[in-house]
Amino acid sequence: MCWLLGWYAANGRLYPGTSSYGGSSSTVTTRWLVMCPATQIWSNDLTISLLHSADMRPYNWSYTQFSQFNQDDSLLLASGVFLGPHNSSSGEIAVISLDSFALLSRVRNKPYDVFGCWLTETSLISGNLHRIGDITSCSVLWLNNAFQDVESENVNVVKRLFKIQNLNASTIRTVMVADCSRFDSPDLLLDAGDQAGLPCRVFDLGGDSEEEAPDPGLHTSGSGRVKEGVRHMLDNVLDGHAQLTDCALETKVAELLAQGHTKPPECSDADTRNKYLIFTTGCLTYSPHQIGIKQILPHQMTTAGPVLGEGRGSDAFFDALDHVIDVHGHIIGMGLSPDNRYLYVNSRAWPPGSVVVDPMQPPPIAEEIDLLVFDLKTMREVKRALRAHHAYTPNDECFFIFLDVSRDFVASGAEDRHGYIWDRHYNICLAKLRHEDVVNSVVFSPQEQELLLTASDDATIKAWRSPRTVRVLQAPRPRPRPFFSWFASHRR
């Protein structure tokens, strides 16, 4: 199957994100957000038309980069790059009403490539970054009300969800939420377990097996264990038994300090259908090479209750991850299947056997993009990596390429001036969609999976329909016979 229709052009550099988040009702109008210095919302009828445009530059936005509609298509989350004092760049999230197109709230978001996402129909997740050392930091993930014009100062509009330690210059980026209650699709074909010789990556619990075994001298309790561990390590360094760079020393100290100050994952009923917070992270270098998964329990899905960690003991100020997967490469895109069961990941692999020595010098990354698939129900990698698209920029210039997943198809942009479409079930590349520059983003219509939009640095957005859909739309409709003619013919 090939895909073809035509294209619609727009001025400016385009960074579209996702389409309608829900759109379960067939009466809901599908909308897209066009990313440029202005926020533009388009209607998807047979003739695409502009519904609303808002210039974000008066809010000190350099450009918008991501969008997501809430589940009932009543609110729009738009994420952009905010220029602060002294030309410092950060991120900001704007919430826009789709009834009145009014700007309801603005939420700071740092770093800007956290993007943000909806947790419920009226609450969204943002991030903040706090530096602890030269290469050590912590990421705080916040739950924010979309409506922040409350009448009482005692009503919470924000609440801290998680605080996670970052090592070796890494940060949390690209947050998204998977709803476990939507795991209702059958298993994909060509499961990894049926393919001889195919290594299957499995989600590990928060601790990595590659970590060094704890020192025997550290088996004390509480803060005493941490102090003893730091003293033991510093003695080894001063005595010349350990040769550590400044970065390695900082990382070791940070790891030891976190041992006694990390809150373990909360236990939950296995039958409870919770939500997963999914994001990119890392433990070896600044380039995002791991996927972190943190379960969000029902009591955490509201801003009611203590704020700023008031209900937490002072000795447990970090949260442990529930699951971690290392893709051994630079992650440049993620997307969820419509039922939220499968996670699709664009990754540019590191060379086999490569070891990160300097966190500021990650291994070189491949030009080929591997599209990996992970089952969030079994926490295993499934299917062979989909390959066809390419990227060329090095680690320090590598940027995010949005992908999207429909019931039967997967689509992705690429730096080779094409958008790509695969069959989800048979791993077949169905089409290459031509542009004149890098394709940053693709998105399926949530109401019609055989309609796809691609956005490119060539300053165009192109709309593509499958030939089957074009034939249906262009097929001549039979002319109804007049009623009286039919009636007369049956009286004879």
CA distance 40 to 404: 20
Q: What is the dihedral of CA 191, 193, 198, 199, to 10 degrees?
A: 110
Among 31-35, 81-85, 202-206, which is the least confidently predicted range? Answer: 31-35
Q: Which of 37-41, 419-423, 461-465 has the highest mean pLDDT?
A: 419-423
Per-residue pLDDT band for 208 (boundaries 50, 70, 90) equals very low
- Comparing CA positions, the residue from 60, 106, 64 lying closest to residue 83 is 60
Q: What is the pLDDT of residue 280?
A: 98
Q: Are 161 and 142 in contact (CB under 8 A)?
A: yes
Nearest Cα neighbor of 5 from 338, 453, 312, 482 is 453
**71 vs 309, which has greater pLDDT?**
71
Burial tier of 83 (Cβ tally within 10 Å: 0-12, 13-18, 19+): middle
Confidence class of residue 173 from pLDDT cuts 50, 70 and 90?
very high
Q: What is the pLDDT of residue 447?
A: 85
CA torsion, ordered 2, 7, 10, 16, to nearest 10 deg: -20
Q: Is the peptide bond prior to 111 cis by the omega test (within 30 degrees of 0)?
A: yes
Model confidence pLDDT, tens digit, residues 80-105: 998 877 777 899 999 999 999 999 99
Model confidence at 273: pLDDT above 70:
no
The token duo for 301 is 């899905």
User: Tens of pLDDT along 119-154?
Assistant: 999 999 999 999 999 999 999 999 999 998 876 677
Confidence of residue 194 (pLDDT cuts 50, 70, 90): very low
The 8-class DSSP code of residue 191 comes to -
Cβ–Cβ contacts within 10 Å for residue 79, how many? 28
The per-residue pLDDT for range 209-235, each reduced to its tens digit, is: 333 333 433 333 445 554 565 555 555
CA distance 271 to 27: 33
- Quick check: pTM over 0.75? yes
Residue 252 phi/psi, 5° resolution? -60, -45
* Residues listed for the chain: 492
Q: What is the mean pLDDT of the chain?
A: 79
In the beta sheet, which residues pair with residue 325?
291
Percent of the chain clearing pLDDT 70 (strictly above): 73
CA distance 431 to 450: 12
pLDDT digits (tens, 9 = 90+) for 445-484: 888 899 999 999 999 989 898 888 878 877 777 766 665 5
> Per-residue pLDDT for 111 more than 90?
yes
* Tally of CB atoms within 10 A around 398: 19
Note the pLDDT of residue 175.
98
323 pLDDT more than 90: yes
Segment 315-333 mean pLDDT? 90
Q: What are phi and psi of 18, to 5 degrees?
A: -95, 165
Q: What pLDDT is recorded for position 215? A: 41
209, 196, 362: which is closest to 289 by C-alpha?
A: 362
d(CA 82, CA 88): 8
Angle between helices 246-259 and 222-238 in degrees, nearest 10: 160
Query: In the predicted model, is pLDDT for residue 206 greater than 60?
Result: no
For the chain, the first-to-last Cα distance in angstroms comes to: 50
Write down the pLDDT at residue 7.
Answer: 32
Residue type, 282: G
Q: For residues 256 and 102, which has the higher predicted lDDT (pLDDT)?
A: 102
| Average pLDDT for 190-212 | 47
Rounded-to-integer distance, Cα 330 and Cα 348, Å: 5
